[in-house]
Chains A and B, each alone.
Chain A
C-alpha cells in the first residue's frame, strides 16, 4: 500500500507534463448523454441520478474506488445488465444523433449491442481462429461474403495495431496468443463492426506493463474513429489516455471535467482525496 502511494507520488511530475498538452481540450458535440440515470440490482440502488455527457470522438474515463458503480454505469450503455435477472433502469442514456434511449424498455438490447462495442477486463477471445474471432460480429450481421470479410477483418486488425503480428497466423486459435495480443484481437473484434461507442472495462488490468502501454497507445489513437468510454482503476492510465474524466463515488457522479483539470485542480474535495491516494 505504502509503495503504491509513493509510486503515484513519483509519477506526478511527468503526469502534469502530459496535462500541459491537453490544456486546450474542448468538448466535442455529445455522442451520448446520461440523464437522471438510476439503476438497481434487485432492491439495491447501484447508480443514483447520473447525468453525464459523452463527447464524440474523445476518450472519457470513469474513475472511482471499487464498488462505486463505474463498471455498472459502463454496462448500462450496452445493456449487459439485461442478461441478469432482477435489474432495473430508470432515466435515460440518449444516443446521438438519432436520440435513442439506450436503456429504454422499448429499445431492443440486441440493437443496442450492435451499435455499441465492448472490450472486457479479461481478454475473452472465442475458441475460434483469429480470423473468425474478428469476423464474428460481421457474420452476426449477415456478412458472409469472403472478400468483404477478409477486407474488414484486415482493416480491424490494422486498426488495433496487431495485423503485423497475426497476419501469418489468422487461422490459428486466438487462444494461443499472448494476453496482450488476445486483448488487441478483442479490440479488433469490437472495431470490425464499426461501433459508434467503444466501451472498455478495465482493459489492461490483466496485462503486463508492456502490453498495457500498447493498449493505451491504441486507445488514444482510436478516438479518431470512435467515441471511447473507459473504466479504469489506474489513475495514471486515466490521465494518459483520456480527454475527460468522471469521478464516481458510492453510485453517484461526483465530478466530471477535462482530464487535465480533474488531475491538477479538482473542484470537489472527494475527488482530490481520491486522486491523491487518500482512499480507494
Chain B
C-alpha cells in the first residue's frame, strides 16, 4: 500500500516533468509561427528602405515630393510622386463614398432589422463576395460600369478613375458591412432595451444608441476598408488607365501607386535601372499611407472604446 503510494507520487512527478517539456515545445512552435509574420513584415520594411535608398541617391527627396510629373519610363524621366498620390486618393475617395454609406446601411439593416434567418443567410453570402478575384471586378469596371457611365456622360474616357473607384467601393462594401455588423451586434441587448423602453423606434435605437455604441468597431471597419481601397491594385490597373496624371477629377484616367508598381514589375525594365528602383520608393509611400491610416484607426478605436 505504502509502496503503491510512493510509486504513484513518482509517476505524478514524472508526468509533471513530461508535461512541462511538452508545453515548452508547443510554446516554441507557436512562437516561431508568430515570428514568421513579424519577420516577414520587418523584412519587407527593410527591403523597401534599402532598395529605395538607391533610388534616392539619384533623385532628391525634394524632387520626389514636389515634382508634378511622374515619367520614370520616358526618355525625359521625372520622378514626382504627387500624380500617383493624387490618383490613389481620388480612387480611394470615390470608393469610400460608396463603401461607407452602403456598408453602414447594410450593417444596420442586418443587425437591427433583418429577421434572424435572413441574416444568417445573407452574412455568409456577403463574406463570399470577398472571395471573388479582384481581376473580375477590374473587368466588370472596364467592360460593364464604364460603358454604363458613358451613357450618362458620353465624354467619359474608356479608362477613368470614377468607374474604378465605384467598383472598388462595391467590392469593399461586404467587408465594411460585415465588420460593422459584428461591431453593432456586440452592443449589448440591454442597451437596446433601454432605448426601446423610452419609446424609441427601431431606427431611432439603431442610429442614436447602437451606432454610437459601436463607434470604435465602426471606425475600425472604415479604416480597414480605406486601407483596402488604397492598396487595391487590379481594378485600377485594368480600369483606370496607367497614365500618371496629377488630378483629383475622377472622370479622368490616372494611375495609382499600386497600378504603377504592377506596370513596372510586369514590364521588362532592367532590375538595376532607376526606373525599376522607383517602384520601391512608390511602395514606401504606399506603406506609409496605410501605416498612417492604421495608426489613426488604432487611436480612434482606443479613444471611443466603450466599456459595457
Chain B nearest Cβ from A29, distance in angstroms? 26
A140 — which chain B residues lie within 8 A by C-beta? 198-200, 204
Does the CB pair A189–B190 fall under 8 Å?
Answer: no
A118–B197 contact, CB under 8 A? yes
Contact A124 B306 (CB under 8 A): no
B-contacting 9-mer, from A32-40, A109-117, A223-231, A267-275: A109-117
Contact with B along A98-133 (1 / 0, CB 8 A): 000000000000110110011011101111100000
Cα A173 to Cα B306 with chains together (Å): 9
The stretch among B14-22, B124-132, B207-215, B239-247 that forms the contact with chain A is B207-215
Is the pair B198, A136 in contact by a Cβ cutoff of 8 Å? Answer: yes
Min Cβ gap B261→A in Å is 42
B298 at interface by CB-CB < 8 Å:
no
Render A73-106 as a binary contact track against B, CB cut-off 8 A, 1 for contact.
0000010100101000000000000000000000
Q: Are A137 and B193 in contact (CB under 8 A)?
A: no
Q: Does B273 contact A (CB under 8 A)?
A: no
Docked CA distance A83–B198 (Å): 13
* Contact-residue size bin, chain A (C-beta under 8 Å from the other chain): 20 to 34
Q: When chains A and B are docked, how far (Å) is the Cα of A72 from the Cα of B208?
A: 27
The residue on B at minimum CB distance from A128 is B212
A128 to B196, CA, bound (A): 16
Does residue A141 face the partner (Cβ distance < 8 Å to B)? Answer: yes
Which residues of A sit under 8 angstroms from B213, Cβ to Cβ? 126-127
Q: Which chain B residues border A125 with CB–CB below 8 Å?
A: 194
Chain A, residue nearest B191 (CB): A124
Output the nearest chain B residue to A136 by Cβ-Cβ distance.
B198
Please tell me which one of the listed residues B199, B204, B306 contacts residue A127 in the complex, with CB atoms under 8 A apart. Answer: B306
The distance in angstroms between the C-alpha atoms of A189 and B209, with both chains bound, is: 14
Tell yes or no: B33 within 8 A of A by CB.
no
Given A126-B191, A127-B213, A128-B212, residue A80 in contact with residue B307 (CB < 8 A): no
A193 at the interface (CB under 8 A from B): yes
Inter-chain CA distance A8–B132, complex, in Å, is: 66
CA distance A126 to B200 in the complex (A): 13
Q: What does the 1/0 interface line of B253-286 toward A look like (CB < 8 Å)?
A: 0000000000000000000000000000000000
Least distance between A113 CB and chain B CB atoms (Å): 4
Size bracket of the B interface: 20 to 34
Contacting residues of chain A (158-206) with chain B, CB-CB under 8 angstroms: 173, 175, 186, 189-190, 193
Are the C-beta atoms of B197 and A113 separated by less than 8 Å? yes
Determine if A126 and B201 form an interchain contact, defined as CB atoms under 8 angstroms apart.
no
Does A117 contact B209, Cβ atoms closer than 8 Å? no
Asked whether A80 lies within 8 Å of B196 as measured between CB atoms, the reply is: yes
Q: A110-B201, A140-B200 are in contact. Are A80 and B193 (CB under 8 A)?
A: yes
Known: A126-B209, A127-B306, A175-B306. A189 touches B198 (CB 8 A): yes
CB-based nearest A residue for B204: A140
Mark contacts of B17-29 with chain A using CB atoms, 8 A cut-off: 1 yes-contact digit, 0 otherwise: 0000000000000
Tell yes or no: B301 within 8 A of A by CB. Answer: no
B195: contacting residue among A114, A136, A190, CB under 8 A: A136
Q: How far is the CA of A241 from the CA of B183 in the complex (A)?
A: 40
Give Cα A126 to B306, complex, Å. Answer: 10
Q: In the bound complex, do residue A137 and residue B196 qualify as a contact, i.e. CB atoms below 8 Å apart?
A: no
Closest to A112 in B: B199
CB distance from A75 to the nearest CB of B (A): 9
Which residues in B have their C-beta under 8 angstroms from that of A113?
196-199
Please give the distance in Å from A114's CB to the nearest CB on chain B. 4
Residue of A nearest to B308 (CB): A175
Q: Please determine whether B199 and A114 come into contact, CB atoms closer than 8 angstroms.
A: yes
A127:B196 contact, CB within 8 angstroms: no
A26-63 contacts to B (CB < 8 Å):
none
CA distance A128 to B197 in the complex (A): 17
Q: Mark B170-204, 1 if CB is under 8 A from A, else 0.
A: 00000000000000000010110111111111001
- By the criterion CB–CB under 8 Å, are B194 and A124 in contact? yes
Which of B196, B198, B200, B212 has most A Cβ within 10 Å?
B198
Q: Given A124-B193, A127-B306, A137 and B198 touching (CB < 8 A)? A: yes
| Bound CA–CA A124/B308 (angstroms) | 8
User: How far does the Cβ of B118 sit from chain A's closest Cβ, in whole Å?
Assistant: 13
Q: Are B197 and A117 in contact (CB under 8 A)?
A: yes
CA distance A78 to B199 in the complex (A): 9
Nearest chain B CB to A137 CB, angstrom units: 4
Kindly state the separation between the CA atoms of A42 and B268 in the bound complex, as whole angstroms.
70
Distance in angstroms between the alpha carbons of A80 and B205 in the assembled complex: 14
Q: Which residue, of B196, B197, B200, B306, has the highest number of chain A Cβ atoms within 10 A?
A: B197
Which 8 A-B residue pairings sit nearest by Cβ, starting from the closest? Answer: A114-B199, A118-B197, A113-B199, A124-B194, A137-B198, A124-B190, A127-B213, A127-B306
> Measuring CB to CB, which residues of chain B are less than 8 angstroms from any residue of chain A?
115, 188, 190-191, 193-201, 204, 208-209, 212-213, 215, 306-308
Extra inter-chain contacts (5) besides given A127-B215, A127-B306, CB under 8 Å: A122-B190, A124-B194, A137-B198, A175-B307, A193-B198
Interfacial residues, chain A to chain B (CB-CB below 8 A)? 78, 80, 83, 85, 110-111, 113-114, 117-118, 120-122, 124-128, 136-137, 140-141, 173, 175, 186, 189-190, 193
14 pairs of residues in contact across A and B, judged by CB atoms under 8 Å: A78-B197, A80-B193, A110-B199, A118-B197, A121-B190, A124-B194, A136-B195, A136-B200, A137-B198, A140-B204, A175-B307, A175-B308, A189-B194, A190-B197
